[in-house]
Amino acid sequence: MPWDPIKLNDGHLIPGIGFGTWKLGNGQAPTDQVDQALSVGFSHIDTAQAYRNESEAGVAIRESGLAREDVFITTKYSGLDGLDIPTSINNSLKNLGVSYVDLYLIHHPRLAVPDIPTAWKQMEELKEKGLAKSIGVSNFGVADLEILLASAKVKPAANQILLHPYVFAKQQPVVEFGAKHGIVTEAYSSLIPITQLPGGPLDRPLYRIAGRLGATIDQVILAWVKSKGAVVLTTSSKKFRLEGYLRAGDLALTLEDVSDLDEAGAKGAVRGMTETIVHRVIVVSLVSAMALGFGSYMGFTIL
């Protein structure tokens, strides 16, 4: 299953696919789902302070029997409870039951307080202390990255963003900016075109390509993300789906396949699907935020 690891700009390797814990809630369910993901072959677990299930993920990782170095752990600074970056990383490490994380991200540019350069300096300091092997950002646009790079001593290793064919035209500038500066793109919510927006322009090329390759349409989308050089972050409670996501790494899309998906995605964006997607993602995020009690996030997306 060639989800080959991708080399980050600091020399560390990140698995090409990861299992995300957003929307898993807390309690036994997220522990069981992380355990299942590890058992089928996932080696990258992506969580966040805001998801409030770092502890559950940590239990599953420890009980998996895998060596610490065999599991790539990402978590994020989400500004939860108004805590600063140094306090938050230590709380996350305690929750996860580890002495370091492999990747630590600022969850959103508006969480970089009092400003991006100051917040990034704190990120650089925790990397220097060995609390995170790599540091990066999430939901940053080109302008945000330009501000960060202007004063950074350490470049972000990754930028985790919403990415699928219907938003590719909108996100292409930040993907290309990242590639130019050695910042790996991580893609979340890539399956929205089939889970939330079926019946759009993507359906025809997706089913055609899937039929030719003997694959499923979700596997084709994940292979499309891979073709863009991005790390895939996905989730499912179904074992067979997780196994299918891992097999998607074997798919070899042609340049024509990728072009057809790009073109269909652009048609969806022209039809206003991009605005629909963004609206739905924000609504889901805000509902989650309200349920978890961090109302300070009202007005922007935390995923």
Q: From the candidates 44, 51, 245, 297, which is the catalytic residue?
A: 51
Residue type (1 letter), 139: N
Residue 193 to residue 277: CA distance in whole angstroms: 9
Residues 268, 278: contact at Cβ < 8 Å?
A: no
Cβ contacts of 37 within 8 Å, gap of 6 or more: 19, 45, 235, 242
Q: CA neighbours within 13 Å on the CB side: how many for 84? A: 12
E strand or H helix at 14: strand 13-14
Q: From the candidates 77, 104, 107, 245, which is the catalytic residue?
A: 107
14 strand-pairing partners: 6
The DSSP code sequence of 207-257 is HHHHHHHT--HHHHHHHHHHHTTPEEEE--S-HHHHHHHHHGGG----HHH
Residue 266 to residue 221: CA distance in whole angstroms: 15
Q: 51 catalytic, yes or no?
A: yes
* Cα three-residue angle 295-300-303, rounded to 5 degrees: 90
187 strand-pairing partners: 161, 232
Q: Which residues of 67-80 are buried (b: 16+ CB within 10 A; e: fewer)?
A: eeeebbbbbbbbbb
> Which candidate, 15, 8, 6, 7, places its Cα nearest to that of 154?
8
Q: 107 catalytic, yes or no?
A: yes
Q: Which residues are catalytic?
A: 51, 107
